[in-house]
Amino acid sequence: MRTPGVTHPRSRALTWGLSERIPANAGLTAPLAVLLGIYLVAAGSAPVAPGLPFRSAWLAAVVPAAAALLGSRAAPEGVAGRGVFWRALVAGAAGGLAVVAARLAPVARPVTGPADLLGALVVAGVVVGALAGTGRRRHPVALDCLALEAAVAAGLTDVSLFQGLAMRDLRLYLDAGARFLAGAPVYLAEPLRGSLPDPTHFPFVYPPLTLPLFGALARLPLAAAELLWETAGSLAAIGSLRALGLPWRWSIVLLAWPPFAQGLYVGNVAVPAFLLFALAFWRGEVLVLGPVFKLQAGVPALWLVRQRRLAALFAGLFVLLALVLVSVPLTGIDRWTQWIDGLFAYQRSQASFPSTFYAYALPRFLPYAVYLVLAAFAVLAALIPGGRSGLSALGLASIVASPSLYTHGFLPGLPALLALKPSLLWLALGLTSALPVPGWWLAVALGGLGLASARLRHDPADADLHPLGHEAAAWPAREASSSAPAR
């Protein structure tokens, strides 16, 4: 007869050492299996990224469990965690130096192979070490392996993303700024046909009030503009995570999540736009400024109506109108009509290049009428809850409503994911680190279900491997209660 809660030695062997107590980990079997399944789909369907001698999903399916087993069993309980953290930190730093040295070497083509593998270890090593830093268990459990799966997948995916042109979105903005200063056309006059231009010359779709900013940056040397923009973006990313209630350690670790990593690498405005969203619980008027960067970023502003924070709504509208009025003498009225015409031309171009201009957005996969219905439903459903849940739901709704959606466009969904219990949170982060399209929308669905069902939400009493620790959701209530009703 077996004692309840005690694992039989043979059972431990059958479970490959992934759990200490089968009952405690039974609920994690399905998330871990789903994540491994998604990785296998990614490995079988996604092309090998330039410079990577392997499919990242295959490695992601094997390395974390081995790292957890070796790292956690290498030292006594209470010491293993700290030892793994420092070993991983040193390994990551060494890998980073190797990649930097290789990138600076005078070669005629991008560095590939082992140097890029070490680049993955920069991210994965630090993340794995931080996650293992708890040191509370002698052996890993399924939750550890689930988190490690997501961490290594994120690191490898980041390296794959980094094979592209760095700061390509910023260079697109700078090109628009230079055209603005020269009095040349900035916006698309007719739909694109034939072959696509260089990514730095893709259509510029942002409103004219951004042109003076990009024009000022275009006057700087390219290196100075990139350094300034990247510094501001990194500070915005960390500031947004801190505003959501994450401690410093997790605020650094989550920069490896592909939406942050890609947004910072290409210099997209999605990162500073997310800062506005993250600050909304305390300064609600900043929600109204979201459309300055992305039109769909205006969806969360409906939260101010839902919460009856009309003073903040009108204050934000006043600031937005003031920005427009100040920009008109600099840009002229014609730029605004050209912008609207350019948006319609861009929409017609999307049908010709769906994988490039729709990317992950729903119109790529569904009839446009169905997409509009789903977007309207998502927005209306998000207006049902209030407080923190309502703001998180509107972040998800802005993703569903996005007419064009790239990896960094999933940032507004993070607060909803943080409301999930640890196993589902790491499942969602893993799904969004393997990069097959279904994984992203499965994660969005998980976030929505978590907001709708208390059984799927994070229990503050269970802080194990959850970035929010003992907080139930993003925007800790003890800090936000003075500015808005709790959820």
Buried b (16+ CB within 10 A) or exposed e, 112-130: beebbbbbbbbbbbbbbbb
5-48 pLDDT, tens digit per residue, is: 333 333 333 223 333 333 334 455 556 566 656 555 555 544 44
Residue 282, judged by CB atoms within 10 A of its CB (0-12, 13-18, 19+), counts as middle
Which residue type occupies 237? Answer: A
Please give the residue that has the higher pLDDT: either 403 or 464: 403
Using alpha carbons, select from 134, 245, 265 the residue that is nearest to residue 199: 265
Please give the residue that has the higher pLDDT: either 369 or 350: 369
pTM: 0.77
51-93 pLDDT, tens digit per residue, is: 333 344 444 444 444 444 444 433 333 333 444 444 444 444 4
* pLDDT, mean of residues 141-157: 71
Maximal C-alpha separation, the chain? 84
* 114 Cβ neighbours under 8 A, 6+ residues apart: none
147 pLDDT tier (thresholds 50, 70, 90) = confident
Please give the residue that has the higher pLDDT: either 283 or 31: 283
What pLDDT is attached to residue 349? 87
C-alpha span between 56 and 442 (Å, rounded): 20
8 A C-beta contact, residue 221 and residue 378: no
User: Cα 404 to the chain's mean position, in Å?
Assistant: 15
Tokens, residue 435: 């990069």
Other CB atoms within 10 A of residue 249 CB: 12
Q: Which long-range contacts (CB under 8 A, 24 or more apart) does 218-224 make?
A: 218/174, 218/175, 218/177, 218/178, 218/181, 219/181, 222/171, 222/174
% the chain with pLDDT above 70 = 67
362-402 pLDDT, tens digit per residue, is: 998 899 999 999 999 999 999 999 889 999 999 999 999 99
User: Which segment of 7-16, 82-91, 272-281, 326-335 scores lowest on mean pLDDT?
Assistant: 7-16
What pLDDT is attached to residue 140? 44
* pLDDT, mean of residues 416-435: 85
Tokens, residue 123: 């991210």
228 pLDDT tier (thresholds 50, 70, 90) = very high
CA angle 240/242/246 to nearest 5° reads 120
8 A C-beta contact, residue 81 and residue 132: yes
User: Cα 398 to the chain's mean position, in Å?
Assistant: 14
What pLDDT is attached to residue 202? 86
Residue 71, judged by CB atoms within 10 A of its CB (0-12, 13-18, 19+), counts as buried
Angle formed by the axes of helices 258-266 and 270-278, to 10°? 130
220 pLDDT tier (thresholds 50, 70, 90) = very high
Beta partners for 457? 420
User: For the chain, what are the domain ranges?
Assistant: 25-161, 168-419+458-480
8 A C-beta contact, residue 120 and residue 98: no
352 pLDDT tier (thresholds 50, 70, 90) = confident
Model confidence at 137: pLDDT above 80: no
Q: Which long-range contacts (CB under 8 A, 24 or more apart) does 68-73 make?
A: 68/132, 68/140, 68/144, 68/145, 68/148, 69/17, 69/139, 69/140, 71/128, 71/132, 72/132, 72/137, 72/138, 72/139, 72/140, 72/144, 73/138, 73/139
* 464 Cβ neighbours under 8 A, 6+ residues apart: 134, 143, 422
What is the chain's alpha carbon radius of gyration, rounded to the nearest angstrom?
23
240-256 pLDDT, tens digit per residue, is: 999 999 999 899 889 98
C-alpha span between 165 and 437 (Å, rounded): 22
| Residue with tokens 């959850």, as numbered in its chain | 466
Model confidence at 169: pLDDT above 70: yes
